[in-house]
Amino acid sequence: MEAKEIAVLAAKLITDKKGRNVTILELGNISILCDYFVICQGNSRVQTQAIADYLDEELGKAGIALRRREGFAEGRWILLDFGEIIVHIFQEEERGFYNLERLWGDAPLINYEKEQ
C-alpha cells in the first residue's frame, strides 16, 4: 500500500470513530520527516485514546506497523508514527494552540473524501 493510500485509510478510520476536522497534509516534497501528516481532533481523552487504539489495530491488520506512539496517557496530543505517515490526534484546545496546518502551511492539502 502506498503512503497516500495509508493516509486516506487512516482518515477514514478516524471518521469511523467520530474524529473531527480530519486533515491530510502532503509533506513528501517539503520534509524528510514523513510523506503525510493526518491531523484530527477528538472531544476528550477517552475519545483521542480510542481513535489511537483503533488506528493501531486496524492499520496493523492491513500490515502497517506502528513504530512509535507518544502522548497516549495524557490524551491531549497523541502522535502515532507509521513511518511514511504520522497521525496527530488532538483535543480541540491543543490543536488550536499548535496549529500544525499553519506551521506546515506550504504543504498541499489532500481531500481524502475524493480519494475514497
Which residue segment(s) compose the domain that 84 sits in? 3-115
Element (H, E) at 50: helix 45-61
CA gap 16, 73 in Å, rounded: 22
90: its cell numbers: 488532538
Number of domains making up the chain: 1
- pLDDT, tens digit, for every residue of 56-82? 999 999 999 999 999 999 999 999 999
What is the CATH number for 59? 3.30.460.10
Range picked from 93-97, 101-105, 106-110 for highest mean pLDDT = 93-97
What is the rounded average pLDDT of the residues 83-111?
A: 92
pTM listed for this prediction: 0.93
Q: Is 19 exposed, middle or buried (0-12, 13-18, 19+ CB in 10 A)?
A: buried
